[in-house]
Amino acid sequence: MTDAQNGGYDEFLDALEAGEGYYYACSNGHALVPPRRVCPHCGDRDLEQTELPETGEIRTHTTVTVPTPQFEDDAPYVTAIATFGQVKLTGIVRDIDPVDVEIGQEVTVTVEPSETTDERTIAFYAHS
Partner 1 sequence: MSKAFVAGTGMTAFGTFPDRRGRDMFAEAGLAALDDAGLEPEDIDEVFYGNFVGTLAENQGHQGPLASEALGTTAPSRRVESACASSGLAVRDAVRAVRSGESDVVVAGGMERMSNMGTAGATDGLARAADDLFEIRSGVTFPAAYALMTRAYFDEFGGDREDLAHIAVKNHDNALVNDHAHLQEEITVDDVLESPEIAAPLGLYDACPISDGAAALVLLSPSYAKEHGLDAGVAITGSGHGGDTMALQDRQSLATAPATRDAAEAAYDDAGIGPNDVGLVEVHDCFTIAEVLALEGLGLYSYGEAIGAARRGETCRDGALPVNLSGGLKAKGHPVGATGAAQVAAVRNLLNGTHARADAVDDDVTVGVAHNAGGTVASAAVHVLEVEE
Q: Which residues bind partner 1 (CB under 8 A)?
A: 6, 9, 32-33, 35, 40-41, 59-72, 74, 77, 79-81, 88-92, 98, 103, 114, 119-122
Nearer to partner 1, 17 or 88 (CB): 88
CA dist., res. 69 & res. 64, Å (int):
12
C-alpha R_g of the chain: 15
Nearer to partner 1, 49 or 70 (CB): 70
Phi, psi of 78 (to 5 degrees): -105, 125
Nearer to partner 1, 6 or 27 (CB): 6
**Residue among 77, 85, 86, 87 at smallest CA distance from 124:** 77
Q: How are beta strands 106-113 and 87-94 bridged, if at all?
A: unpaired
Distance in Å, CB of 127 to partner 1, minimum: 19
Distance in Å, CB of 104 to partner 1, minimum: 9
Distance in Å, CB of 60 to partner 1, minimum: 4
Distance in Å, CB of 45 to partner 1, minimum: 17
> In 3-state terms, what secondary structure has residue 54?
coil
